[in-house]
Structure 1
Amino acid sequence: MNIQTKYHGEIKVNEQEIWHFEKGLPGFPDEKQFVLLPLPNNDVFMILQAVQTPYIAFVITNPFLTFKDYEFKIDDSTLEQLRLESEKDVAVYSILTVKDPFVNTTINLQAPLIFNMKNKKGKQMILNDSPYHTRHPLFKQTEKQVKG
């Protein structure tokens, strides 16, 4: 099937590549199907693109690449909703808020995206009572970088 995307124009996607978010994402409850799209020449960042709405697309990354001590427990309702049976089936991503200049970009560690790699189900899980926030600086910044 062909879909329109925010960053890649019109592309063809295989229906087996579609991720199902049963309850959508916070703020986007009607968007229940997404695809993960690569960024050219980049192994760190990807696009989480809504299948139905071209302008809904998020830059995401694996938070463990930058935050080695990042940890949380997947709650029972998420385990059940995604039908997670094994740790090896889990992938975790976080949404970025891309800034200009890019060194000012932030990452949402309070609401990780949890993916079941086995059945293509996903959910954005809100971490309540956690030390994490929605806008952690992605990069260690110097004063010069912040000013741009």
Structure 2
Amino acid sequence: MNIQTKYFNEITIEEKNIIHFEHGIPGFLEEKQFVLLPLTEDNVYYVLQSVQTSELAFVVTNPFLFFKDYDFNLDDATVEQLEIKDATDVAVYSILTLQDPFEKTTANLQAPIIINTKNNHAKQVILNDEKYTTKHPLFKASPASVKG
């Protein structure tokens, strides 16, 4: 199927790649279908693009590339809702707040996007952990593939 996107104009996606947020994303409860599109060739940055709304797209990254000590546990209700059977079936992304210059970009570690890669069910989880905020500087530590 073809969709309009914020960053790539019109593209063709396969329905099997659609990620389903049963209850939407906080602030966008009606938006239940997204697709993950690579933004950079090094697989560090992606766009979480709404299938319905072309202007709704979040730049995301795997937070573990930037924050080695990032750690949290999913509550049982989330594990059940997403039908997670094994930790290896889980992908975690953080929404970025892009800044100019890019080196000032921040990551939302308080509300990671959790995706069950086996069934493409997803949820944005709000962590009740005071050490994580919505605006962690991304470049305190950067992955080797981003340096230079």
Report the 3-state secondary structure (helix = DSSP H, G, I; strand = E; otherwise coil) of the residue aligned with 2:43.
Answer: strand
Separation (CA, whole Å) in 1 of partners of 2:60 and 2:34: 13
Deviation, 1:107, is: 0.1
User: Number of aligned pairs?
Assistant: 141
How high is the TM-score relative to the length of structure 1? 0.92
Q: Provide the C-alpha distance between the structure 1 equivalents of 2:40 and 2:139, rounded to a whole number of angstroms.
A: 21
- Distance in 2 (CA, whole Å) between partners of 1:90 and 1:7 is 26
Pairing 1:83–2:102 present: no
- Give the secondary structure class of the aligned counterpart of 2:140: coil
Indicate the SS of the match to 1:139. Answer: helix
TM alignment of 1:19-98, pairs within 5 A:
19-98=19-98
CA distance in 1: counterparts of 2:129 and 2:2, whole angstroms? 41
TM-score normalised per structure 2: 0.92
In the aligned structure 2, how far is the partner of 1:29 from the partner of 1:140?
Answer: 32
Matched to 2:87, the amino acid is E
How far residue 40 of structure 1 moved from its aligned partner, in angstroms, is: 4.1
3-state secondary structure, aligned to 1:131: coil
Q: CA RMSD in A?
A: 1.1
> CA separation in 2, counterparts of 1:130 and 1:76?
20
Q: Counterpart of 2:93 in 1: which secondary structure? A: strand
Per-residue displacement from partner, 1:24-78 (whole Å, max 9, x unpaired)?
0000000000000011433200000000000100000000001000000011111
1:118-133 correspondence to structure 2 within 5 Å:
118-133=118-133
- Match of residue 12 from structure 2: 12
Give the aligned partner of residue 115 of structure 1. 115
Distance 2:130 2:80 in 1: 21
Q: Which runs of 5+ in 1 are unaligned?
A: 142-148
Structure 2: which 5+ residue stretches go unaligned?
A: 142-148
Query: After superposition, what is the alpha-carbon deviation per residue over 1:67-118, rounded to whole angstroms, capped at 9, x for unaligned?
Result: 0000000111110110101111111110000000000000000000000000
Q: Is the 8 A contact 2:21 2:33 kept in 1?
A: yes
CA distance in 1: counterparts of 2:130 and 2:118, whole angstroms: 28
- The secondary structure found in structure 2 opposite 1:42 is coil
